[in-house]
Amino acid sequence: MTSSAWVLPALFLIVLGLLAWPLGRFLAALCESRLPRWTQRVEAPLYRLAGIEPDRQPMHWRAYALALLAFNAVGALALYALQRLQGLLPLNPAGMAAVSPDSAFNTATSFASNTDWQGYGGEATMSYLTQMLGLTVQNFFSAATGIAVAFALARGFAARSTDGRGFVGNFWADLVRITLWLLLPISFVLALFFSAQGVIQNFDGYRTVTTVEATTWQNPKLDAAGQPLKDAAGNALTEEANTTTQTLAMGPVASQEAIKMLGTNGGGFFNANSAHPYENPTALTNFVQMLAIFLIPAGLCFAFGRVVGDRRQGWALLAAMALLFVAAVLVVIPAEQAGNPLLGALGIDQAHGALQAGGNMEGKELRFGIDASALFAAVTTAASCGAVNAMHDAFTPLGGMVPMVLMQLGEVVFGGVGTGLYSMLVFAVLAVFIAGLMIGRTPEYLGKKIESHEMKLTSIAILVTPILVLAGTAIAVVAEAGKAGIANPGAHGFSEILYALSSAGNNNGSAFAGLSANTPFYNALLGLVMWIGRFGVVVPVLAIAGALAAKKRLPATAGTMPTHGPLFVTLLIGTVLLVGLLNYVPALALGPTVEHLVLWVR
C-alpha cells in the first residue's frame, strides 16, 4: 500500500470518531426522551393529529412491530402509486412516462426497506416529484425505522422493570423524533454543503449544451424495413454519425444526496450514482459522503453504552466493527493497486508513479483514484448504504469480493442506521451463549439471562438473510430468465448474481452493474428478497427486545462474563466470521475465488 492509502483511511476513522462521540450523547438523549421541553411543543400537534399520547402509551413489542410494518407497507404502496401515476402528475419537465408495474414494485419495496436497489436510470425514469415525494421521503422514513428498532432493543437491555410486560417504547414517537431532531437537521446542513461544492439543486428542465468537440460514432445502415444491411461477405454496413450537442439532466439533487448518505440509503438521483459529478463533484464531497454514511452507525454504538449504563459496552461493539472494517480496507486497496496481471504480461506499466495512478483504474473516477474509490466501496458495503463512486463490477476478483463479503456478514460492520447496531447485538447475544456453553453456566448479557426463547429468535434473525441470498441465487442460476441477465460468462457471471442477491437480502442496494436486472424476473425476485430480508430480521429483533425488557436485570457477580474487554471483542469477531460468513464460503469459492485463481495462477 502507498502512503496515501494509509493516510486516507486513518484520517477518515479519526474524523469519524471525533464527530460520532458527541452525536452519541444526543442519540442517547433521543432514545431516552430527554429532549428540551420546546421540542415537545413542536411535536404535540403531530401527536394530536395522529391521536396518540406517546409518553402515556408505551407499546408492547408486538404492537410496536405491527405499527412499524403497517407504516412501511403504506409507504411502499404510496411510492408504487406515485410511480405508476407520475406521467399525470406535475414537476415532470422531461415528460417521464409511468414506470412499469414490475419495476415500480421493485423500487417501492427497495426504498421502503432502506435497500434502494435501482434497476433503472434515475434521470431517465423518475420525475422530479417522484424523486422528492417518493424516493427522498422514503429515505427519511426507512432510515428512521432502522434507528427506531435499534432504540427498542437498547431499551430492552436497559429495562430494569420486573412487571413482565415487555414495553419497548412508542414507534410513532420514535419515528417523529428521529426524523425531526436527527435526520432533518443534519440533512439540511449536508445539503447546503453539497450545493456549495457543486451538487445541483433546481427544478429546471433538462438542458441541451454544445460540446467542446463533436462526438462521432458508427450507426448501422438499415433497409426500408428497418433491418441492418450487410455486404457480400455478411459484414454489417455502417455510416458515420456525429453530434455537437449533449443533454444534461437537472433536478433537486443536493437534498436527496444528503439523506441518501446520512440514512445509509444509497439510491442515486442519477444512474451513475456518486460517480456522477452532479452528485459527487470533488474529493472533499467524496470524503464527507463517506463520513455521513458511517456517522449515525458509529454514534449509535456510543449511545448504546450510555443507554445501558456502561459506556464500555458501546466501545466494545465499536471496536469489533472497526477491526473488521480495517481488515476489509487492508484487502481491497492492495487488491486494486496490484492491477491486472494479464495487462502486465503485455508489457503495460501499472506501477504507481508521479504521472499515473497505477493499479486497476478500470471503472474508477480519475478525480478519486484507487484509494478513495476502494475505501468508498468498503464504506458503502460495510454500512449497507449501496451508494457507489466506482463500478464494483470492474474491481479485481479479490477487490470485488470484499464488498460482497461485507454485505454477507449481515450488516454488522457499522451497518445501516440502526440495523448495524441491532445486528451486531444479535451476534453479541449469540457470542455470550457460546461462551456460556463453554463454561457451563447460563449466559448473561448486560444483566439479562439469555435463554432458549431468545436463542430461537436470534437463530431466526441470523439465518433469514443467508437463506434468502443462497436460495435466490440458486433460483436465478437455474431459471432461464435469471441466466438471460448475465453479461459475463463463467465465474464472474455467477459473482454478478451472487452480489445482486447479497445486496438485496442485506438491504445494501449496490450492484456489480454487469447484470441486466430490470426484468420482470429479477424485479419480482429481488423485491421479495429485499422486503423479507428487512422485516424478516426486524420482527425477531423486536421480539428479542420485548423478551429482554420483561426480564429482571441481574447484578454482575464474580461469575459474570465481562463483555467489554479485548477477550469479548475477539469472541464477537470470531462469532461474526464463523456464523455470518461460513454460510457463503461455498458460493464465494464458485465466484470470486475461482476468478482470482484463473487470473493470477498460471
In tens, the pLDDT along 539-593 reads: 999 999 999 999 988 887 777 788 999 999 999 999 999 988 888 999 999 999 9
Residue-level pLDDT at 349: 77
SS3 355: coil
Q: Which helix (H) or strand (E) holds 59?
A: strand 59-60
Mean pLDDT of the chain: 92
Residue-level pLDDT at 161: 67
Residue-level pLDDT at 141: 97
Residue-level pLDDT at 164: 59
pLDDT-based confidence at 1, cuts 50/70/90?
low
Amino acid at 408: Q
Task: Centre a 10 Å sphere on the Cβ of residue 602 and count the other Cβ atoms it contains.
Answer: 8
| Helix, strand, coil % in the chain, rounded to nearest 5 | 60, 5, 30
| Residues 97-153: tens digit of each pLDDT | 999 999 999 999 999 999 999 999 999 999 999 999 999 999 999 999 999 999 999
Q: 473 or 488: which carries more pLDDT confidence?
A: 473
248 pairs with which residues across the strands? 207
Grid cell, residue 45, equals 400537534
Q: Break the chain into its structural domains and give their ranges.
A: 207-248
Residue-level pLDDT at 561: 85
pTM: 0.93
Whole-Å CA distances, 26 to 20, 182, 223, 264: 10, 9, 68, 19
C-alpha span between 346 and 76 (Å, rounded): 52
| Residues 203-240: tens digit of each pLDDT | 999 999 988 888 887 888 877 767 778 877 778 888 88
| Residues 160-179: tens digit of each pLDDT | 865 657 799 999 999 999 99
Amino acid at 15: V
Residue 280 has pLDDT above 80, yes or no: yes
Contact assessment for residue 196 and residue 59, using Cβ atoms and an 8 Å cutoff: no
| Residues 437-484: tens digit of each pLDDT | 887 777 899 999 999 999 999 999 999 999 999 999 999 999 999 999
Q: Which of 45-59, 419-433, 465-479 has the lowest mean pLDDT?
A: 45-59
Residue-level pLDDT at 557: 78
- Three-state SS for 141-171 is HHHHHHHHHHHHHHHHHHCCCCCCCCEEECH
Mean pLDDT for 514-538 is: 95
C-alpha span between 392 and 71 (Å, rounded): 34
C-alpha span between 432 and 445 (Å, rounded): 7
Using CA atoms in the order 234, 240, 241, 244, what is the torsion angle rounded to 10 degrees? 150
Residue-level pLDDT at 218: 80
Residue 510 has pLDDT above 60, yes or no: yes
Grid cell, residue 223, equals 433497409
C-alpha span between 250 and 200 (Å, rounded): 7
pLDDT-based confidence at 602, cuts 50/70/90?
low
pLDDT above 90 covers a percentage of the chain that reads 74
Residue where the block lists cell 414507534: 171
Q: Residues near 61 by Cβ (< 8 Å), separated by ≥ 6?
A: 152, 166, 168, 542, 543, 545, 546, 547, 549
Mean pLDDT for 15-43 is: 95
Q: 341 or 62: which carries more pLDDT confidence?
A: 62
Q: Residues near 422 by Cβ (< 8 Å), separated by ≥ 6?
A: 149, 150, 153, 541
pLDDT-based confidence at 79, cuts 50/70/90?
very high
